[in-house]
């Protein structure tokens, strides 16, 4: 990950991940949390893709492509 840059203006935003089943970049853990509400810890640019580090209620943190997240309104 030579071009690894942090960009976190979305920190704290509530999201629901919707990973695409045909995307080989996702694993079983991504699908385990699909449809569950989490929140963004940070957004990282890696390999030309924006990845969101998403935290869930059980303290698990999972990366998703930013484009595969449903952003929920801020309170």
Q: What's the pLDDT tens digit per position in 15-74?
A: 999 999 999 999 999 999 999 999 999 999 888 999 999 999 999 999 999 999 999 998
Element counts in the chain: helices (H) and strands (E)? 1, 6
- Which secondary-structure segment (H or E) carries 44? strand 38-46
Domain holding 64, by residue range, is 5-71
Domains identified in the chain, total number? 1
CATH no. for residue 56?
A: 2.30.30
What is the mean pLDDT of the segment spanning 4-10?
Answer: 68
Q: How far is CA 13 from CA 1, 3, 8, 22, 66, in A?
A: 25, 24, 10, 26, 12
> Which segments of the chain does DSSP mark as H helices, in order?
28-32
Whether pTM exceeds 0.85: yes
């Amino acid at each position: 990950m030579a071009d690894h840059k942090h960009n976190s203006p979305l920190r704290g935003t509530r999201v629901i991940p919707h990973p695409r089943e045909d995307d080989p970049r996702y694993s079983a853990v991504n699908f385990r949390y699909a449809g569950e509400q989490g929140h963004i810890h940070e957004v990282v640019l890696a390999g030309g893709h924006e990845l969101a580090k998403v935290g869930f209620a059980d303290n698990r943190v999972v990366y998703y492509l930013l484009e595969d997240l449903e952003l929920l309104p801020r309170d």
